[in-house]
Amino acid sequence: MRIELTVNSETKYFRTSPDEKLLELLRRYGYMSVKKGCGEGTCGACTVIMDGSLVNSCLVFAPMAAGRSIVTVEGLGTVNDPHPYQEEFVKAGAVQCGFCTPGMILAVKSLLDQNPDPTDLDIRQALDGNLCRCTGYVKILDAVKNIIAREHEEARGGKA
Amino acid sequence: MSDIMKTKEVGRSVNKLDGLSLASGAARFVADKVPPDVLYGAILTSPHAHARIKSIDKTEALAVPGVKVVLTYRDVPRVAHTTAGQGFPEPSPYDTFCLDSKVRFVGDRVAAVAAETPEAAQEALRRLRVEYEVLPAILDPRDSMKPGAPVIHDEPEARVIIPIVYEPQKNLVARATAHMGDVEAVFKECDVVLEGSYHFSQCQHCPMEPHVCFTELDELGRLTIHTSTQVPFHVRRITAARMQLPVQKVRVIKPRIGGGFGAKQEVLIEDLCSALTLATGKPVLLEYTRAQEFISSRTRHPQYINVRMGAMNNGDLKAIDLRILMDCGAYGAHGLTVVSNSGSKNLPLYRWKAVNFLGEVVYTNLPLGGAYRGYGATQSYFATECLLDELAAKLGLDPIALRQRNHVRPGESSPIFEALGEGKAGVPQTIDACGLPECLIKGAQAIGWNEKHGKAAMQTGVTRRGVGMCALMQGSSIPEIDMGSCYLKMNEDGSFNLQMGATDLGTGSDTVLSQIAAEVLGCATEKILPYSSDTDLTPFDVGAYASSTTYLTGNAVINTATKVADQIRGVGAEMLKVPVAEVRLEDSCVVAADGRKVTFEQVGIYSLYEKNQFQIQATGSHVTHKSPPPFSAHYAEV
């Protein structure tokens, strides 16, 4: 079967089958930032944003995503033209092995899109579906706080 | 200390060189590199803890559309080996086969398939007909050495390749001992002697990226293994042996790795993936699911630990008797070395006058242990630090004060270092530096020890808050065994390629080692292009384990960068027409005593294109003669 899907603002047709997971479809089409960690919705490595909501793509059947808009971390920025969230994660030392990082950054984006001024508890709750085995989370939380501070600075017209 | 203060690049907070690549999703891990025509491998595992395979019928499995091959023990070379990714000769027994007619734990390999889709591979597994003769199993290590216990490794090939204790007929994998003084006599002189028994159970590393391997034949017919490993050179050696191929026919590439924590010091699935590629001629992807990580991967070795400690009323620690029974599981990987480290990383921490250590490692029909960060020290410290707290209470001393009074001091040594090696005699060493006093104080301040310690007893109810602490000692690399090396070359824009066998598995070693190179070269870390690891392109390194990379490979980088710096100075001096002794390297320039300078870019262009041309390059190695112990104090509030 064929479905129409918007991935990172680009609308295309994708071949799929009724039992294919969105995770597998995205990886088959080269969106390799979407990682398979557990395949059962516990680790968050396959996190994508679908129509503004955070989902584990390993739990979404691809045909259910038909007509929807997906954001992967490739859609935020690239190595040579990174998004501020990606920069802040690197600066804070929040990226170690990096396997969880794409999903983690999307979870941060989803949070800040809905709540630009979250409390520490809001941040922890927003990230609780994304596991990291390397960092101990402290530097990830630092990165999120730095992102918020940077956005506030930019909103005040200050220099980033 | 003054040397540390003078560095420019080492100690500078640089961004991880591969950070943006990872954060933007551009970085490629093993499963991100597979070609579209890849076959999917899958493994049938044993439902029985101990059984012989009477027959395997693969007719129906092979009839599944898309299935290309089904491998059983009849289809692969029978080569006894160890999955432990250790240096040669490995101190682990050769007791494992790619596939065998006997299974030794639930999750052990029975057969493997490769198919065009993952679904076809799974369907083939369901259609394999296997008949087992179920054997009595050992499910508790305390039963392993009892008379009449089932013999788990009754195959004639099971052996060790170095002279160490190994008695498979008794299910004994290894025995490590160390003695110092007369423990029983010293106990008699002690004011207090305490005894405690502890059990440390299995746990799994859970790297975010499960074990994954992708194999293919290159255009020369060589086997190329892309694998998520901490030990690419051991993967090459061990897989070549298992597949009966010369090392020359095997190339191992380690791309980005999603964490390892010891689990990927195991040469776990590369052999089976290779066998599927060799059988089909096709690229094959074999990856563990998260469930398989728990069932068929490795764990931290469980231990039953019995400790006796003797001390005087003034708090002086006198004697320790540490006895460990370690459950190795169904195969002997890392058995001797993990239990040796339970002693060697623990017993030198305090100034015991008498020590008795016995570590016995036995087979059971349970999932097997492997390298897991801490490597044996974690288990034994759990026991000894718990008992030390009880001793402190008995003596009426603060737990921190008891540790402060007794820990090893710089300039001191311990005969344990020499007594407990890793498959051969250990290396005597003196403690050069010990930051433990500072750690103990800083930790106590950070957690508010004086305000909080001992207060849990005054609280009521089921849930209470309390603080606890422990002190630890580790090592850095395995002395006289571990070796790392690298290759460094200069480009015409003043950048450098740094190629290392060392394995960055998310640890940041590519960046750390680049900082070390930059420090020696007098340039910014960002001018270094690190690459690790590819057995065709990068020089040998034992790999990422034993807390060794920064110390071991770091010294290899210093050696190498020093040679390259000498060459740059030589060219720069020639260009500046001054004696080489009068120039120095600074900010990517060769600077003469009078302040004249040429940039690294000018040196690069001159050396490659202008005069007396040659490639500025060097290789260097380092073998470690000691294993400097880092010390730490841990505090927790629960």
Q: Do residues B125 and B112 lie in contact, with contact meaning Cβ atoms separated by under 8 Å?
A: no
Q: How many CB pairs under 8 A join A and B?
A: 113
Scored b (16 or more CB within 10 A) or e, B142-175 reads eebbeeebeebbebeebebbeebebebeebbbbb
Strands (DSSP E) found in B514-582 = 528-531
Residues of A contacting chain B (CB within 8 angstroms): 27, 31-40, 42-43, 45, 72-74, 76-79, 82-83, 86-87, 89-91, 93, 95-102, 105, 131-134
Q: Cα B483 to the chain's mean position, in Å?
A: 14
Residues of B contacting chain A (CB within 8 angstroms): 15-16, 18-29, 31-32, 206-210, 256-259, 261, 289-290, 505-508
Which residues of A fall within a CB distance of 8 Å from B207?
A: 97, 99, 133
* Residue range B512-562, pLDDT digits in tens: 999 999 999 999 999 999 999 999 999 999 999 988 999 999 999 999 999
Domain boundaries, chain A: 2-75, 84-155
CATH class entry, domain A84-155: mainly alpha
Is the overall model pTM greater than 0.90, yes or no?
A: yes
Q: What is the per-residue pLDDT for B19?
A: 98
Segment B409-426 shows an average pLDDT of 88
Q: What is the per-residue pLDDT for B424?
A: 79
Which residues of B fall within a CB distance of 8 Å from A77?
A: 24
Query: In chain B, what percentage of residues exceed pLDDT 90?
Result: 93
Query: In chain A, what percentage of residues exceed pLDDT 90?
Result: 96
Q: What is the per-residue pLDDT for B21?
A: 98
Nearest residue, CB atoms, A79 vs list B26, B256, B258: B26
Q: Do residues B426 and B417 lie in contact, with contact meaning Cβ atoms separated by under 8 Å?
A: yes
**Average model confidence (pLDDT) across chain B:** 96
A2-75 shares its CATH topology with A84-155: no
Give whole-number Cα distances, B323 to A26, B143, B170, B344, B359, in Å. Answer: 53, 17, 19, 13, 6
* Residue range A33-77, pLDDT digits in tens: 999 999 999 999 999 999 999 999 999 999 999 999 999 999 999
Q: What is the per-residue pLDDT for B1?
A: 41
Question: Yes or no: is domain A2-75 CATH 3.30.1330.10?
Answer: no
Nearest-angstrom CA–CA distance, B261 and B263: 6
Is there a contact between B18 and A98 if contact means CB atoms under 8 Å apart? Answer: yes
Nearest-angstrom CA–CA distance, B602 and B607: 8
Range with the lowest mean pLDDT among B135-139, B277-281, B451-455, B599-603? B451-455
Q: What is the per-residue pLDDT for B2?
A: 45
Is there a contact between A96 and B506 if contact means CB atoms under 8 Å apart? Answer: yes
Q: What is the per-residue pLDDT for B456?
A: 82
Q: What is the per-residue pLDDT for B455?
A: 86
Segment B17-25 shows an average pLDDT of 98
